[in-house]
Structure 1
């Protein structure tokens, strides 16, 4: 969150752009479920492990993870030939603050 937002001058164009990207990433119910799965597991998972737990194929899981990684909700971690994904813990702090800023509530 930038200084203008903290000073009560509304959202900056940059913050509005960032927050819109976050909400676009969460606009799909399966991405919300995928993010929830990773949050509940509390450990990095491979695409294969995620595919075993959700009713979608591997390419769709990969697509959703790519979109979530672009907005940094998930963090990829390469281990040898595979990639494991985990929830970005910073999102647990930033997202509620973003919602408060959008709604005009001061932290």
Structure 2
């Protein structure tokens, strides 16, 4: 069935693809913990700061942050030779609406 044949109220192919990438990005518990850390700290943090607070190494933190940044759950800002990461509140606020859409709720 193509998009034009979808029933009213069903998800478009584009929305479904977007939501799938969001869920895929959150499919790793450490990425969920990274988001939680950034959200509770309420400030931009460097990879080094994050490594000091979580039981994983620098390369693993960088890898997870890259995935979260690709779906815009985190924002990266270069400052000199380092990059600071923070939660993208606007993006994360859309997440509950995506879950409601998937469940067919208004």
TM-score, normalization by structure 2: 0.91
Give 1:8-87 correspondences, 5 Å limit: 8-87=8-87
Contact 2:9–2:104 (8 Å) recurs in 1: no
The root-mean-square deviation of aligned C-alpha atoms, in Å, is 1.5
Unaligned residue ranges in structure 2 (runs of 5+): 1-7
Aligned counterparts of 1:29 and 1:94: Cα–Cα separation in 2: 20
SS of residue paired to 1:65 = helix
Number of positions where the alignment pairs a residue of Structure 1 with one of Structure 2? 101
Match of 1:96 in 2: 96
The structure whose Rg is larger is 2
Deviation at 1:91, TM superposition (A): 2.2
- Structure 1 residue runs of 4+, over 6 Å off? none
